[in-house]
């Protein structure tokens, strides 16, 4: 209720996506938002969240296609896309990847479909017609406290782990580089501070699940030097650039 009726706004927040230039192929994590979101009628005006609680400022040049090209990467060269969850600010750029293999957790995809999905704020009618994601084939291979995982690469340095909370089938990525890990957290928390303080967000329908996931991430961070990177933390980009390790208590 606070999300809907709190009249205070945060400053503008980033919608971050991640690109991994891996010898086995280029991997993109989340696709950001489309500039179409500012067109009248794009968002369902009947939905209280979009009516009251969210505001978007996305220009065509901000979309992931042009942003990748600025880095010298063509979206056609992206072999794999992993979606942390299908909320519009993570799935709004899907149309840039008609040729990529796109992984989504099975339950996440099913929950986002149809009227039920729309009631929960997903925009399945805005997905490209060709969108048919590959269900993430989790196996019972533990990574830290995460009981299941899926290795995107054969060498096992880019892994998907389940991080339920923000949505029931939300996933995060762990990227291992020599001695330093990167935790691509999606919306597991909005900021590093929220993680350290072990607070649930207001979107999770089961705050206890969110806090349990946050605890598992904190355990991972305390056992392995890791840069923690949520999608909407204004400081994520600086932490990535500086390799700034997150200290948990």
Which spans of this chain sit near Zn ion (rule: CB under 5 A)? Answer: 89, 187
3-state secondary structure of 25: strand
Q: Among residues 16 and 221, whose Cβ is nearest to Zn ion? A: 16
CA distances from 145 to 58, 140, 212, 249 (A): 37, 12, 11, 17
Q: Among residues 2 and 129, whose Cβ is nearest to Zn ion? A: 2
Least spacing, CB of residue 123 vs Zn ion, in Å: 13
Residue 142 token pair: 């533990």
Question: What is the enclosing helix (H) or strand (E) of 218?
Answer: helix 207-223
Total length of the chain = 249
Q: Among residues 31 and 149, whose Cβ is nearest to Zn ion? A: 31
- Number of Cβ within a 10 Å radius of residue 216: 18
Least spacing, CB of residue 90 vs Zn ion, in Å: 6
Beta-ladder partners of 222: none
Alpha carbons 21 and 51: distance in angstroms, whole number = 38
Q: Among residues 63 and 157, whose Cβ is nearest to Zn ion? A: 63
Is the separation of the CB atoms in 195 and 217 below 8 Å?
A: yes
Least spacing, CB of residue 89 vs Zn ion, in Å: 4
Least spacing, CB of residue 203 vs Zn ion, in Å: 9
Q: What is the DSSP letter of 93?
A: T
Least spacing, CB of residue 107 vs Zn ion, in Å: 18
Q: Among residues 143 and 190, whose Cβ is nearest to Zn ion? A: 190
């Amino acid at each position: 209720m606070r999300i809907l009726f709190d009249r205070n706004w945060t400053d503008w927040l980033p919608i971050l996506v991640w690109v991994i230039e891996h010898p086995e192929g280029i991997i993109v994590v989340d696709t950001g938002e489309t500039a179409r979101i500012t067109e009248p009628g794009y968002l369902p005006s009947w939905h209280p969240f979009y009516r009251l609680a969210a505001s978007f400022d996305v220009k065509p040049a901000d979309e992931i296609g042009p942003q990748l090209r600025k880095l010298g990467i063509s979206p056609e060269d992206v072999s794999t896309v992993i979606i942390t969850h299908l909320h519009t600010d993570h799935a709004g750029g899907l149309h840039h990847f008609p040729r990529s293999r796109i992984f989504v957790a099975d339950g996440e995809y099913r929950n986002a479909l149809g009227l039920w999905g729309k009631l929960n704020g997903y925009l399945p009618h805005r997905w490209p017609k060709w969108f048919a994601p590959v269900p993430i084939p989790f196996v019972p291979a533990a990574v830290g406290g995460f009981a299941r995982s899926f290795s995107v690469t054969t060498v096992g340095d880019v892994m998907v782990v389940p991080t339920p909370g923000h949505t029931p089938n939300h996933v995060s990525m762990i990227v291992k580089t020599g001695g330093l890990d990167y935790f691509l957290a999606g919306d597991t928390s909005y900021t590093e501070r929220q993680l350290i303080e072990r607070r649930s967000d207001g979107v999770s329908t089961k705050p206890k699940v969110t806090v349990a996931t946050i605890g598992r991430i904190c355990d991972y961070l305390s056992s392995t030097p890791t840069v923690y990177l949520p999608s909407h933390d204004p400081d994520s980009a600086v932490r990535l650039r500086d390799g700034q390790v997150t200290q948990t208590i």
